[in-house]
Structure 1
Amino acid sequence: MIEHTLINSDEDLKQQCEYIETHSRIAMDIEADSMHHFKEQVCLIQMADPEKNYLIDPLTIQDFSALKPLCENPAITKVFHGADFDIRSLDRDFNIRINNLFDTEIACRFLGIQRRSLAALLKKHFNLCLDKRFQRTDWSRRPLSDEMIAYSINDVAHLLELADILKKKLADSGRLSWAVEEFELQSEVRYDKTEDMPLFLKFKGAGKMGRENLAVLESLLQMRAAIAEKKNLPLFKIMGTETISQLTLKHPKTMQQLKDSRILSPKQINMYGELCVEAIVKGMAVPQNQLPSYPRKKSPEIKPEIPERIKALKHLRNEASQRTGIEPGFLMNNATITAIATVSPSTEEELKNINGTRNWQVNLLGKNIISVLNICS
């Protein structure tokens, strides 16, 4: 097993952070328990500096004040692979921000690397095989097995070296400044606090439902959440998305109708059947003037020339993707293309001011974008 230092007390954390802060770069990763519990939490924080590897056990530490300045110190580069989830989780659980990020997954995107999972990169560069079964492990379980420890340490043990390899490739290709801009934007994401919002707003397909169905859907989602919280299980282990959708659309109002619908398994009917019927009836009883509605942004009037501009800009984007090796959706997503087509900037400075546009995109495509828009005008 790779050597590591286990940090499982407030005093250990304070002492080790003082030492880690003497380095200019650290690798970081987290493990959570979203596959196993109702309320997700960070269960393990892995760190590595150029000399040592560390496992921080959040389940035994009360005071994280020593970790916060380390993560937020702009003089120390924090290397992650696919940092979005990690940054949001650290914000949610510990109010910790990440400053001076290097994200190896984002770096791979700028280099046109298609197989960019950490497992694929570790295999390619270090001939190291990660055991995928640990991706679904219950990381809240204690004690950690030797295999879990080995897997978690391997997530960070080679990350600094991997970052060095990718950074050199970015510099050699003239794309390092592009990646740095994207790293900075990624570091600014925060946990989305939506506890007070209707649950149907995060349910796939809700935007296509009528108001009556939305009332039933919300009632069913509230029921499922209450059961999941009581049992301390993730939502999908109570009832899947497709099951909830079918219950909403067919809305069986009696136990017999529910059994005839065959939406639920016999086991689910025994466990949740009456609660489902009760939730459906409750949702259908919502008065007309209290029915929920899915919020919709009023679409701006589309001028006849805008679709032509969008088509031309997508063609330009796709050609640039072929030339650079950067995937089209990352090079410039459709929302940004639509915004550019709508505003139709006449200068690169105007292009930079459009929401969602990056400086690196303007540097790479700006002149061509302006030319295409002039032709389409």
Structure 2
Amino acid sequence: MVANQDALTQAAARFSGCPVIAVDLEADSMYHFREKVCLLQMAAAGESVVIDPLAVSDLSAVAPLFASADIRKIFHGADYDVRSLYRDFGIVIDNLFDTQIAATFLGFTETGLDSMLRQCFGIRLDKKFQKKDWSRRPLPEEMVSYAARDVIYLEPLAERLRAELEAKGRLSWVEEECDLLRQVRPPEPDGSPLFLRFKGAGRLDRRSLAVLEALLQLRSAIAARWDRPLFKVLGNAALLTLAKEKPTTPQALSACKALSAKQIAIHGEAVLAAVDRALSLPPNRLPRYPRQRPQPIAPEVPDRIAALRAWRDRKARKLGLDPAVLFNKAQLTAIARACPRRLEQLRQIPEIRRWQFNSFGRNLIAVLSKVK
């Protein structure tokens, strides 16, 4: 366990000459209000280190390793990791390779790390610590060993997948997707209503939306005060029921069965107060769910989409891929709307990746030439 600045600096120096570094991390999103990276695991040249960011908060010594274009960083399912490393330490990643994306482009249907290692190497991972609280200190030695173990398999897995991608002519596809993935960032707080990130809010009337927002604000305040994740305070399903039922008395709160008896004892008074505040808002102060008017669709567009989808599905079956991996619905719609007749026009569609243009551009133009 790397738990002081000197050890971190020494580990960074040893890894600086490695062409490939495998990376994983553990966080505490299931146990705290503001999640944080609790362990950072790195493996290269037969060495695996586990860095403790709770003991060494300044990770600037390893930042150049992540930023180097000369060192390939291997992750599995990197989206969360990329966002977390940037959020907590300002770490920016270049030359990323995601073995889960690679597996998807090779037609694997089960792409979790445990499943991939089982399929490729016959290795079964012990996942008993996956949902443990990684912020606890001291960490049991067996949890540290568990964290170090996962990351050691990433480099051989990546080598095997890269060889298969190269043989199928798809390595550049994955490299482009990984280059886009390395640029994702966590959302910045913007003061917007919490209901905008709540599934089902768009189906509520304005008064119910006001109740939901009041309850979401209440839950967030309680979670911050208790340092607990939101779902461990009040669940989303319960909040949605309360927003629809709008109980104003303890009897009504109990009758709607949104909360357990224990939750009512702890939060009942605050919940009723939040509902009352929302019900007291005048009509002109009620929130409105923002809705984007769909762009008008020309009569010919649905036929173009159908033709493009039929071609995509045939091509995906031939390649052994999920059709959405080749072109997703939004991309097909963008192509159908633009209806390019020449490759230069297709190239201008922002939704299209370079690998899609280079590999399938002529096919797309040919399909569109046969429809109106």
Interval of TM-score (by shorter of Structure 1 and Structure 2): over 0.9
* Residue matched to 2:161: 166
CA–CA distance in structure 1, aligned partners of residues 230 and 119 of structure 2: 36
Q: 1:27 aligns with which of 5, 22, 28?
A: 22
From 34, 39, 62, give the equivalent of 2:34. 39
Q: Quote the RMSD (CA, aligned, Å).
A: 1.3
Q: Quick check: 51-60 or 294-303, which moved more? A: 294-303
Contiguous gaps of at least 5 residues in structure 1: 1-5
Which 10-residue stretch deviates more, 366-375 or 56-65? Answer: 366-375
SS at match of 2:128: helix
- 1:302 match: 297
Distance in 2 separating the partners of 1:305 and 1:99: 42
Corresponding letter in the other structure for 1:330: V
SS in 2 for 1:55: strand
- 2:318 pairs, out of 316, 323, 326, with 323
Paired with 2:145 and 2:311, the residues of 1 have a C-alpha distance of 46
| Secondary structure of 1:109 counterpart | helix
Report the alpha carbon displacement of residue 128 of structure 1 after superposing the two structures with TM: 2.5
Match of 2:217 among 211, 222, 240: 222
Q: Does 1:357 align with 2:352?
A: yes
TM-fit CA distance, 1:188: 1.0
Alignment of 1:241-252 (within 5 A): 241-252=236-247
Deviates more, 1:117-126 or 1:336-345: 117-126
3-state secondary structure, aligned to 2:357:
helix
Q: 1:4-34: CA deviations, max 9, x gaps?
A: xx21112211221111111111000111001
1:291 aligns with 2:286: yes
8 Å contact from structure 2 (residues 58, 89) kept in 1: no
- Between the aligned partners of 1:115 and 1:331, the Cα distance in structure 2 is 18
Identity %: 45
1:17-166 matches, within 5 Å, as 17-166=12-161
- Quote how far apart the aligned CAs of 1:350 are: 1.9
Change (3 A) 1:287 1:355: farther
Task: Please state how far the C-alpha of 1:195 moved relative to its aligned partner.
Answer: 5.0
In the TM superposition, residue 289 of structure 1 has moved relative to its aligned partner by 1.9
**Which amino acid is the alignment partner of residue 151 of structure 2?**
V
Q: Distance in 2 between matches of 1:128 and 1:144?
A: 25
> Given that residues 30 and 45 in structure 1 are in contact (C-alpha distance below 8 angstroms), is that contact kept between their aligned partners in structure 2?
yes
Q: Which SS does the other structure have where 1:129 is aligned?
A: coil
Q: Is the 8 A contact 1:46 1:152 kept in 2?
A: yes
Structure 2 distance, partners of 1:24, 1:283, is: 58
Does structure 2 conserve the Cα–Cα contact (< 8 Å) formed by 1:255 and 1:273? yes
Q: Deviations over 1:101-135 (max 9, x none)?
A: 11100111111111211001222333322223322
Matched residue type, 1:257: A
Whether the 8 Å contact between 1:39 and 1:232 is mirrored in structure 2 is: yes
Rounded Cα–Cα distance in structure 2 between residues aligned with 1:245 and 1:166: 44
**Once the two structures are superposed, what CA deviation does each residue of 1:273-303 show, in whole Å capped at 9, x if it has no partner?**
1111111111122222222222222211111
Q: List alignment gaps of at least 5 residues for structure 2.
A: none
What's 2:174 paired with? Answer: 179
Give, as a single letter, the amino acid of the residue that structure 2 aligns with 1:114: T
Question: Aligned AA for 1:118?
Answer: L
Deviations 1:64-95 (A, max 9, x none): 21121111111110000011000000011111
1:240 aligns with 2:235: yes
1:375 matches 2:342: no
Which residue in 1 is equivalent to 2:250? 255
Number of equivalences: 372
Match of residue 276 from structure 1: 271
Larger mean CA deviation between 243-252 and 151-160 belongs to: 151-160
Would the aligned equivalents of 1:243 and 1:263 in 2 still touch at CA under 8 Å? Answer: yes
SS of aligned partner of 2:34: coil
Other-structure match for 1:267: 262
**Aligned residue identity for 2:247:** P
Q: Is the 8 A contact 1:216 1:279 kept in 2?
A: yes
TM-score of the superposition, structure 2-length normalised? 0.97
Equivalent AA in structure 2 for residue 222 of structure 1: Q
User: What TM-score results when the alignment is normalised by the length of structure 1?
Assistant: 0.96
